[in-house]
């Protein structure tokens, strides 16, 4: 990560003689599903396509982690250390998740638990964050998102509260690689990502990310 301010990347734009620069934000995103046919992965692709140009995205994998136990606190395994380092290199977190039994899928909750520990090294402290999800049912992951908000709140993440986005997935609207055929859905999700970008900027203006430490 480079740039004049902590948490900011510098991108050169246009004519190299002008050397115009703009801040970009690195968004670490979780997909809360391990399914190879995940509709939430499709949603994540759609969101990345629609996002403002100054957001860059890095997936934070959840499927390679052992089950968290405090027994690991003295010596985290490499996968968990990698997760914490990737979050530390992020300026903001986006969670794109299904709802499982009206709550958070276990693999995602496990990843969040890893990232919140060991005690005193909570990776989400003051992190700009947003949640979104797609379901085949009509409530569009509302209950899972409510549970996620409780977790992020306890972890002292700075959550975007509005707009909310509860997506009822339809294969007629989303293509597998994240194109959206329906204009109103496309506009809604574009606006969601634009608002998230504005929100990240606001939070980081007041609470800059700490400089991530090497290795």
Q: How far is the CB of 102 from ligand FNR (least distance, A)?
A: 4
Q: How far is the CB of 183 from ligand FNR (least distance, A)?
A: 24
Tokens, residue 66: 């052992």
Binding residues for ligand FNR, rule CB under 6 A, total: 13
Q: How far is the CB of 202 from ligand FNR (least distance, A)?
A: 30
Q: Smallest Cα–Cα separation from 207: which of 152, 146, 126?
A: 126
> Which range of residues in 86-94, 99-107, 147-155, 173-181 is near ligand FNR by CB under 6 A?
99-107
Inter-residue contact 50 to 41 (CB < 8 Å):
no
Q: Decide: helix, strand or coil at residue 64.
A: coil
Tokens, residue 39: 């509709």
Inter-residue contact 195 to 160 (CB < 8 Å):
yes
Q: How far is the CB of 32 from ligand FNR (least distance, A)?
A: 7
Q: Which of 38, 185, 190, 212 binds ligand FNR (CB under 6 A)?
A: 38
Q: How far is the CB of 142 from ligand FNR (least distance, A)?
A: 9
Q: Which of 7, 26, 39, 47 binds ligand FNR (CB under 6 A)?
A: 39
135 is an interface residue for ligand FNR by CB under 6 A: yes
Q: CA 61 to CA 108: how far, in whole Å?
A: 9
User: What are the helix (H) ranges across 60-140?
Assistant: 78-88, 106-116
Inter-residue contact 192 to 163 (CB < 8 Å):
yes
The residues binding ligand FNR (CB under 6 A) are 33, 35, 38-40, 98-102, 135-137
């Amino acid at each position: 990560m480079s740039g004049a301010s902590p948490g900011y990347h510098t991108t050169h734009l246009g004519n190299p003689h002008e050397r115009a620069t703009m801040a970009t934000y690195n968004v670490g995103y979780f997909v809360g599903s391990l399914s190879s046919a995940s509709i939430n992965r499709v949603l994540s692709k759609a969101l990345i396509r629609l996002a403002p140009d100054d957001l860059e995205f890095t997936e934070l994998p959840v499927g390679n982690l052992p089950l968290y136990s405090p027994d690991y606190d003295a010596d985290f395994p490499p996968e968990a250390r990698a997760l914490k380092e990737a979050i530390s290199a992020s300026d903001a977190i986006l969670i794109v998740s299904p709802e499982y039994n009206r709550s958070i899928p276990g693999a995602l909750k496990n990843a969040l638990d890893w990232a919140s520990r060991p005690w005193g090294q909570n990776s989400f402290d003051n992190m700009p964050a947003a949640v979104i999800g797609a379901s085949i049912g009509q409530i569009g992951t509302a209950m899972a998102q409510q549970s996620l908000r409780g977790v992020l709140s306890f972890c002292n993440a700075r959550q975007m509260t509005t707009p909310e986005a509860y997506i009822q997935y339809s294969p007629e609207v989303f293509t597998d690689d994240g194109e959206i055929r329906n204009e109103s859905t496309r506009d809604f999700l574009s606006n969601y990502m634009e608002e998230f970008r504005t929100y990240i900027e606001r939070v980081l203006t007041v609470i800059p990310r700490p400089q991530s430490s090497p290795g």
